[in-house]
Structure formats: structure tokens, C-alpha cells
Amino acid sequence: MSTLKDAGIGKTVTVKKLVGEGAVKRRIMDMGITKGTEIYVRKVAPLGDPIEVTVRGYELSLRKADAEMIETV
């Protein structure tokens, strides 16, 4: 199982599945991250948190904990 947290800088991945439940999963979906969406990893902070990505044409910063809930292909 590969997650968004494991993707390297400059990689483009596709969302396979969202893990988690409740408000956290809903918040991730509200940000535009749904099954089949392509995500480009732009930057990772020096200590690894947060991760800056491009989703649907806009830039977004995600915590590592949230990135672990996003399974990718």
C-alpha cells in the first residue's frame, strides 16, 4: 500500500482510495481530493510536515497524518 506521504518531490500520483472516517475524511474530500484525482507533490518541509501539493490546479498544504490517509497508485 502506497500513500501520498510516501510520494517523492516532483512525482504525480493518482488517488486510489481514502482511508479514514468521519470529519477528517470529509475535510479531505472537501479539499478536492477524491478517487481518481491526480496530485503533484511540489515540496516537503525540512522536517517532513507539511507537504505542499497541487490538486485540481491549486496549491494545498497537507499534514503528514492527512497524507497517510490517501492511498495512491
- The CATH number that applies at residue 36 is 2.30.30.90
**Rounded Cα–Cα distance for residues 26 and 32 (Å):** 10
The domain tally of the chain equals 1
pLDDT at 50: 93
Q: What is the pTM of this model?
A: 0.88
Extract the residue ranges of the chain whose pLDDT is less than 50. none
Distance separating alpha carbons of residues 7 and 26, to the nearest angstrom: 22
pLDDT at 47: 87
Domain extent, residue 60, equals 2-72
Task: Determine the pLDDT at residue 18.
Answer: 94
pLDDT at 36: 95
